[in-house]
Amino acid sequence: MDILAIESSCDETAAAVVRDGRRILSSVVHTQVEEHGRYGGVVPEIASRRHIEQIAAVVERALCEAGHTVYSVDAVAVTAAPGLIGALLVGVNFAKGLALAAKKPLVPVHHLRGHLAANYLCFPELVPPFLGLIVSGGHSHIVEVLDYTEYRVIGRTRDDAAGEAFDKAARAMGLPYPGGVSIDRLTPEGNPQAFSLPAPHVSGSEDDFSFSGLKTAVVNLVHNARQKGEKLPAADLAASFAFRVADILSEHTLRAAKRLNYRTIVLAGGVSANSTLRRRMQEVCGEEGISLFLPPLSLCGDNAAMIGAQGYYQLQKGYTADMDLNASACMEIDREF
Ligand code: KG4
Ligand code: ZN
């Protein structure tokens, strides 16, 4: 079964054709990152406008590279939540038009489910249940993936998402957007022990985390140094920050896995590209004999192939939508459309 998938929840216009949820036939990603970089972050109005300009060509290319037309695929899957509402609406409306014209099932997909499903595209042996750590620009969740379309969130950030914390810390340091990438580039030259950054305490749930205190600590260090006319060693600060974030995420995920008896951990989302986090997760999972699945860098960030992978399993369960499908800026991962 070949599914055409469309993703436009943030600043990437993407389309892909995926076979049986596991094999990428084509994957096209048009990124707007350079344009948003000028403003230091994603400008929602610009994102929507660029999606409108790009979407037809991106979908056309994905179909063509897969040797398909919209009439020969079996279904159209689309990211319908969560994300920037104007950006999501472009993809949803385009997908609705295609599904209606070609008389194909329309499959709405939750963006974070898609991030997890990116792993199905490169690890044929990976099947639920497993414990997922989703770390993106807007979300940080520890999730039990009970089945392909069944989830239970057990931990989440109380404030900033991991990617957001990277982006804000980088911005304070004067590094270009996206900040996570800039910090990651600097870390190999830095000493992760140079700065002792706080590990914020969260009361109530040992699975929840908080990153805003950590981000504020970096902002304060930068401001204090600036006031004194001093220059901070950027690589040391970047390495210390990445080390602390990786430490918090790995500690929480491992503790949850041990308590709930999961022997498989799967990483997902843009921040799973972070080299410090990947290394730390490999170390701690290795020590505990837990199998760790890390998506290849090409599938960590936003793409449509992951939406096609998850769309396949949504369709298997009969989760299709009608022409009244709407996009939602916010939606929990354990809810259906
Ligand atoms: O999953 P994603 O592409 O988009 C959302 O769904 O939000 O995640 C984007 C986030 C950004 O905050 C970006 O700075 C972060 O992922 N990111 C990284 C790295 N690459 C992307 N953070 C740390 N290290 C990286 N190598
Ligand atoms: Zn994403």
Assigned token pair, 108:
């709405």
- Spatial distance between the Cα atoms of 226 and 125, rounded to a whole number of angstroms: 51
Assigned token pair, 93:
């409306």
Q: Residues lining ligand 1, judged by CB closer than 6 Å?
A: 10, 136-138, 163, 166-167, 178-181, 184, 269-271, 273-274, 301-302
Distance of CA 193 from the midpoint of ligand 2 (Å)? 30
The residue-averaged pLDDT of 31-60 equals 96
The DSSP bridge pattern shows strands 130-135 and 264-268 to be: parallel
C-beta neighbour count of 231 within 10 angstroms = 8
Q: Which long-range contacts (CB under 8 A, 24 or more apart) does 31-36 make?
A: 33/177, 33/178, 36/11, 36/177
Place of tokens 């981000």: 215
Q: CA nearest 312: which of 14, 25, 9?
A: 25
Predicted local confidence at residue 201, as pLDDT: 81
Q: Give the tens place of pLDDT for each residue, 158-177.
A: 999 999 999 999 999 999 99
> Which residues have C-beta under 5 Å from ligand 2, the single-atom ion?
136, 302
Q: Give the tens place of pLDDT for each residue, 98-116.
A: 999 999 999 999 999 999 9
- Spatial distance between the Cα atoms of 14 and 301, rounded to a whole number of angstroms: 11
Q: Give the tens place of pLDDT for each residue, 241-253.
A: 999 999 999 999 9
Position in ligand 1 atom list of the atom nearest CA 276:
24
- Determine the distance from the C-alpha atom of residue 314 to the mean position of all C-alpha atoms in its chain, rounded to a whole number: 19
Which DSSP string corresponds to 273-306?
G-HHHHHHHHHHHHHHT-EEE---GGGTS--SHH
Q: CA nearest 97: which of 120, 76, 126, 74?
A: 76
Q: CA nearest 58: which of 33, 27, 84?
A: 27
Q: CA nearest 250: which of 269, 270, 290, 277?
A: 277
Residue 3 banded pLDDT, cuts 50, 70, 90: very high
Q: Give the tens place of pLDDT for each residue, 262-271.
A: 999 999 999 9
Determine contact, residues 274/184, Cβ cutoff 8 Å: yes
Position in ligand 1 atom list of the atom nearest CA 115:
1
Position in ligand 1 atom list of the atom nearest CA 269:
1
Residue 334 banded pLDDT, cuts 50, 70, 90: very high
Determine contact, residues 178/192, Cβ cutoff 8 Å: no
pTM, to two decimals: 0.97
The residue-averaged pLDDT of 190-195 equals 97
- Give, for ligand 1, the residue of 13, 42, 166 to mutate: max count of ligand atoms closer than 8 Å to Cβ: 166
Distance of CA 224 from the midpoint of ligand 2 (Å)? 34
Residue 199 has pLDDT above 90, yes or no: no
- Spatial distance between the Cα atoms of 150 and 107, rounded to a whole number of angstroms: 16
